[in-house]
């Protein structure tokens, strides 16, 4: 891609999440949004009209043939990954993928392999990695003794139709709390093993087959033990739970309040820092700049790295099912 040309971007899946990307990309002068496709065409029309550029396509292959994107944003529900990526990868189209990138490791590893072979530039939507306060946490952690980490993503049931079933969603750990599992990897390296216990019976939605709650204990290769709560059974009357991570250091606590602020607490000192800037714009800009330069090194969650967070969360599902510790 030459530096003077606009980067051509197409979207498959133009529901709620896609707009976060579209509204930012539409403001970049070096980006052309060339195609929008959704199995509910009205959604593609809505996003195209709001972006004020590009074309709506009723057929995915026709979009790839006609719009000739340099990169494709894949924002479909978790259970819809597969044929879409296979086609794009075969054509050498670079990919921005929403997490989770697949619901089984065989598919995800197949894509990882093909992406490597084709030398494609990829970015997976782990937005928290672009927050300035996460980098501040990393600085605070450096040189400190950390034993325990605890964290949570506790809330209600998201209002998307594919959420209630493992087959279409992957479960709350894989679909939602994967962000915090990824943050543990981002700050503490790779996991060695995981055990996960969970339960059901509180959420009363017809056909709901996910766990309502679970607790995962992850032993990291460096010895840190992280316990992460995941729950979607909070209903009316519950107060907002402070989701995020607490890092228990020998001489202080460091707390990451999900996409909001961080706190450093030690005897006699409390420092609180809110986030600054729009980290999601930073994520889009990083991806576009990588496409322009051909250098992906600034992308914080390329496919190969994101695979490891997917593997960890799918291992939690395995542990929930078997009741056993899963070695990674
Ligand atoms: N990174 C983040 O922070 C973040 C936040 C929210 C959602 N997400 C992820 O983004 C993905 C989409 O979530 P959402 O909230 O936008 O869901 P959504 O249901 O609002 O949107 C998904 C869209 O994909 C369309 N679709 C389904 N199958 C398709 C197919 N085969 N081809 C084309 N279009 C298809 C649907 O009609 C729908 O419009 C999910 O994987 C979700 O986990 C990520």
Instruction: Give the CATH number of the domain where residue 194 resides.
Output: 3.30.360.10
Kindly state whether residue 95 falls inside one of the protein's structural domains. yes
Binned at pLDDT 50, 70 and 90, residue 241 comes out as confident
Question: The domain containing residue 268 runs over which residues?
Answer: 130-277+311-327
The per-residue pLDDT for 239 is: 82
Question: Ligand 1: which atom is nearest the Cα of residue 38?
Answer: 34
Kindly state whether residue 1 falls inside one of the protein's structural domains. no
Q: Are residues 116 and 158 in the same domain?
A: no
Q: Are residues 92 and 31 in the same domain?
A: yes
Cα distances (angstroms) measured from residue 3 to each of 6, 77, 281, 294: 8, 33, 20, 10
Task: State CA 222 to chain mean position distance.
Answer: 24
Q: Are residues 22 and 55 in the same domain?
A: yes
Task: Tell whether the model's pLDDT for residue 1 goes beyond 80.
Answer: no
Contact 205, 212 (CB under 8 A): no
Binned at pLDDT 50, 70 and 90, residue 154 comes out as very high
Task: Tell whether the model's pLDDT for residue 252 goes beyond 60.
Answer: yes
Question: Ligand 1: which atom is nearest the Cα of residue 158?
Answer: 15
CA 78 / ligand 1 centre spacing (Å): 7
Kindly state whether residue 306 falls inside one of the protein's structural domains. no
Q: Are residues 123 and 141 in the same domain?
A: no
Question: Ligand 1: which atom is nearest the Cα of residue 15?
Answer: 21
Kindly state whether residue 210 falls inside one of the protein's structural domains. yes
101 closest CA partner among 75, 66, 62, 135: 75
Q: Are residues 135 and 252 in the same domain?
A: yes
Q: State how many domains the chain has.
A: 2
What integer best gives the mean pLDDT of the chain?
A: 97
Q: Are residues 117 and 93 in the same domain?
A: yes
Q: Are residues 163 and 120 in the same domain?
A: no
CA 15 / ligand 1 centre spacing (Å): 6
Domain containing residue 80: CATH number: 3.40.50.720
Binned at pLDDT 50, 70 and 90, residue 15 comes out as very high
State mean pLDDT over 63-83. Answer: 98
Query: SS3 of 242, please?
Result: coil
User: CB of 15 closer than 6 A to ligand 1?
Assistant: yes
- Give percent of the chain with pLDDT exceeding 70: 99
State mean pLDDT over 53-75. Answer: 98
Q: Are residues 172 and 319 in the same domain?
A: yes
Contact 187, 139 (CB under 8 A): no
């Amino acid at each position: 891609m030459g530096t003077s040309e606009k980067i051509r971007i197409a979207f498959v899946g133009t529901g709620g999440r896609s707009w976060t990307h579209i509204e930012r990309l539409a403001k970049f002068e070096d980006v052309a949004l060339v195609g929008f496709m959704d199995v509910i065409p009205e959604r593609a029309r809505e996003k195209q009209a709001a972006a004020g550029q590009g074309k709506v396509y009723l057929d995915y292959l026709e979009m790839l043939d006609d719009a000739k994107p340099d990169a494709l944003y894949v924002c479909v529900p978790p259970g819809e990954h597969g044929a879409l990526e296979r086609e794009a990868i075969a054509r050498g189209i670079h990919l921005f993928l929403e997490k989770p990138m697949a619901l089984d490791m065989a598919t995800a590893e197949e894509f990882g392999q093909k992406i490597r072979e084709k030398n494609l530039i990829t970015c997976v939507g782990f937005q928290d990695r672009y927050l300035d306060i996460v980098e501040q946490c990393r600085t605070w952690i450096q040189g400190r003794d950390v034993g325990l980490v605890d964290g949570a993503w506790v809330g209600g049931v998201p209002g998307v139709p594919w959420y209630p079933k493992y087959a279409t969603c992957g479960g709350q750990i894989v679909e939602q709390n994967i962000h915090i599992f990824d943050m543990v990897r981002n700050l503490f390296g790779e996991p060695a093993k995981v055990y996960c216990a969970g339960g059901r019976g509180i959420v009363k939605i017809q056909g709901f087959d996910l766990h309502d709650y679970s607790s995962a204990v992850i032993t990291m290769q460096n010895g840190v033990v992280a316990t992460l709560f995941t729950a979607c059974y909070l209903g009316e009357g519950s107060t907002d739970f402070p989701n995020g991570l607490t890092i228990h250091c020998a001489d202080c606590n460091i707390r990451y309040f999900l996409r909001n602020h961080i706190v450093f607490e030690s005897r006699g000192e409390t420092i609180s820092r809110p986030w600054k800037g729009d980290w999601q714009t930073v994520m889009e800009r990083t991806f576009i700049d990588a496409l322009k330069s051909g250098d992906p090194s600034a992308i914080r969650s390329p496919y190969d790295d994101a695979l490891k967070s997917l593997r960890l969360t799918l291992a939690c599902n395995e542990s929930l099912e078997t009741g056993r510790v899963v070695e990674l």
